[in-house]
Structure 1
Amino acid sequence: MMITSPYEKYRQSAVSTSSPSQLLLMLYDGAIRFGRAALEGIDTADYSGLSINVGKARAIIKELSNTLDSSYEVSAGLKSMYEYIDHLFTETNINKSKTAGEEAIGYLMELRQTFAQAAKMSAGQTQQHG
């Protein structure tokens, strides 16, 4: 794949030099951004845009779900949460439901905040022990 725009080059380099926790936050940011764009599609009756953006958000949710490490107890709960968020995005698309989309985005924002806090705490511990 050819990378043409400077932004794409930057993005590729940002992804390849990011830590796992930074990548996770980038995935959440993307899902939230696509979720919001999907809601704009409902507002403007751009149902093609709605569908495309819901598809992108769902692809990220699937990626988050597929990369869970099942050796952690919390993973089972997260897997169910991702399945529910995926269900909400499906509802958003099929029923043009802003309520479902807003609920999904709310959960994603909470999860992102939780992981951001955890990443800060683990970075702090690494510095203390290093």
Structure 2
Amino acid sequence: MMNNAAEAYKRQQVMTATPEALTLMLYDGCLRFMKEGLEAMEQKKWEQCNTSLQKAQNIINEFRVTLDMKYEIAHQLMPLYDYVYNSLVEANMRSKPEKVTECMDIIKELRSAWAQAMIKARKEKGAS
């Protein structure tokens, strides 16, 4: 029963979130899946590791396909997303925990920058 309520709450959060908030949720999910993948890798739970890292790769792929290339920032983000995606594939195939850690650091930086941009935009919107 409790699980259903939690799922319903989470679904409601996603359904009512702004695109900016959804992006933040995706960054959070990506980090969570990389952490799960890393922990599974360290415990040699290969199937779980593979599943988690593929979920992270799917999120990175979503970021790549939704980038609007008419903005300069998109041209800066695309190589980063490509690098993270390819590094996660390599980490998964060759069992390289240091690659997962490196990807997590990059995504943490991007998440932080995104959160800061959201705060700045909210302040600017409030001022106008």
Shorter-chain TM range is over 0.9
The answer for the alignment partner of 2:27 in structure 1 is 28
The answer for the alignment partner of 2:102 in structure 1 is 103
Q: What is the CA distance between 1:62 and its match in structure 2? A: 0.5
Q: What is the CA distance between 1:23 and its match in structure 2? A: 0.6
Deviations 1:6-57, CA, capped at 9 Å, x for gaps = 1221111101111111111100000000000000011111000110001100
The answer for the alignment partner of 2:17 in structure 1 is 18
Runs of at least 5 residues in structure 2 that lack an aligned partner in the other structure:
none
The answer for the alignment partner of 1:46 in structure 2 is 45
**What one-letter code is carried by the residue in structure 2 that aligns with 1:118?**
A
* Matched residues, number: 126
100-109 vs 62-71, greater mean Cα deviation: 62-71
**What one-letter code is carried by the residue in structure 2 that aligns with 1:103?**
E
TM-score when normalising by structure 1: 0.94
The answer for the alignment partner of 1:114 in structure 2 is 113
* Separation (CA, whole Å) in 2 of partners of 1:34 and 1:17: 23
TM-score when normalising by structure 2: 0.95
**Identical amino acids, percent of aligned pairs:** 30
Runs of at least 5 residues in structure 1 that lack an aligned partner in the other structure:
none
The answer for the alignment partner of 1:91 in structure 2 is 90
**What one-letter code is carried by the residue in structure 2 that aligns with 1:41?**
A
Query: 2:76 matched to 1:77?
Result: yes
Structure 1 outlier segments of 4+, above 2 Å: none
Pairwise CA RMSD: 1.0
* Separation (CA, whole Å) in 2 of partners of 1:21 and 1:90: 27
* Separation (CA, whole Å) in 1 of partners of 2:70 and 2:88: 28
* Separation (CA, whole Å) in 1 of partners of 2:37 and 2:43: 10
* Separation (CA, whole Å) in 2 of partners of 1:7 and 1:64: 26
Deviations 1:80-127, CA, capped at 9 Å, x for gaps = 111100011111101110110000000000000000000000000000
* Separation (CA, whole Å) in 2 of partners of 1:61 and 1:11: 21
* Separation (CA, whole Å) in 2 of partners of 1:113 and 1:125: 18
